[in-house]
Amino acid sequence: MKVNKNPKRVFGTYEWAYKNVNFISGCKHDCKYCYSKEMAIRFGRKTSANWKKESLKDEMLSKKFGKSKGVMMIPSSHDIHPDHLKEALIILNNILSAGNQILIVSKPHTECIKAICDEFFVYRKDILFRFSIGSIESKVLKFWEPGAPNFAERLESLKYAYNSGFKTSVSVEPMLDSTIDEIIRKVRPLITDSIWLGKANYLFRRITTNGDNDALTLKKADELIKLQSDFNIKKLYERYKNDPLIKWKESIKKIVGIELSEEKGLDA
């Protein structure tokens, strides 16, 4: 039998899902470290100036979804904003009614999460929410994610989804400061699935491409990279390696010696 000596390892969104679904170009949250913004600028689809101007991919509203081989993540390159909530509900219905399981990843607006929970309560076993919370400090969130909700609104969204009987998880990727232990403490009672931890990837490259390379951002990026040194990551791992709720993104797996998966969407 022929052995594949160089298996393709899974990383990024494919650690979580088999397939990604997006229906917006651009994102009003305008996160400084955004990989999607970086890619859009690099390939000429957007500029740093117009990234915040969201445009709907109209063809997605009538797209027929078949049954996926695995979990479908929505969205992965933008977010669900109140301005496009109506369209988001249409697309979510099209995906769920085709018999799919979905992972909704968001820096959540409570208005949107309430609408999704209320509209798709019957599908609650097929939906896993994963809310991005990189700090408990709203001023830190505001700096790195200027258009996104503050900590209180994200926590309120998590509470609503949890109390509505939906599966819940949190992504602390990127970790934006040293409040990781406090995030875990605050969200733990509201989690049914997992808490993912991950570093800020390619930070200097992304903020430079994204047009956010002013002196203050460069200084804070340098501080964040030092905070996420291999030494500190290994200390973090030692604290939580036996915690069944905690999972590690590939940026941490590489440092602590956890083998990356070869299969998409294992969420492990």
Q: What is the CATH number of the domain that holds 166?
A: 3.20.20
Per residue of the chain (268 residues), give pLDDT as tens: 333 444 578 889 999 999 999 999 999 999 999 999 999 999 999 999 999 999 999 999 999 999 999 999 999 999 999 999 999 999 999 999 999 999 999 999 999 999 999 999 999 999 999 999 999 999 999 999 999 999 999 999 999 999 999 999 999 999 999 999 999 999 999 999 999 999 999 999 999 999 999 999 999 999 999 999 999 999 999 999 999 999 999 999 999 999 999 999 999 8
In a domain, 264, yes or no: no
How far is the C-alpha of 147 from the C-alpha of 122, rounded, in Å? 31
Is the separation of the CB atoms in 60 and 7 below 8 Å? no
**Angstrom distances, CA of residue 115 to CA of 110, 121, 194, 233:** 8, 10, 23, 37
In a domain, 268, yes or no: no
In a domain, 3, yes or no: no
How far is the C-alpha of 210 from the C-alpha of 30, rounded, in Å? 9
In a domain, 51, yes or no: yes
1-17 residue pLDDT tens: 333 444 578 889 999 99
How far is the C-alpha of 38 from the C-alpha of 40, rounded, in Å? 6
Q: Which two tokens stand for residue 101?
A: 């399981």
**Angstrom distances, CA of residue 175 to CA of 9, 78, 133, 138, 224:** 23, 19, 8, 13, 9
In a domain, 7, yes or no: no
How far is the C-alpha of 5 from the C-alpha of 3, rounded, in Å? 6
Domains held by the chain: number: 1
Type of residue found at 177: D
Burial class of 233 by CB neighbour count within 10 A (0 to 12, 13 to 18, 19+) = buried
Is the separation of the CB atoms in 172 and 197 below 8 Å? yes
Residue-level pLDDT at 182: 98
In a domain, 265, yes or no: no
Residue-level pLDDT at 11: 87
Residue-level pLDDT at 46: 97
Question: What range does the domain containing 252 cover?
Answer: 12-256
In a domain, 60, yes or no: yes
User: How does the average pLDDT of the chain come out, rounded?
Assistant: 96
In a domain, 151, yes or no: yes
Tokens 């695995």 label which residue? 70
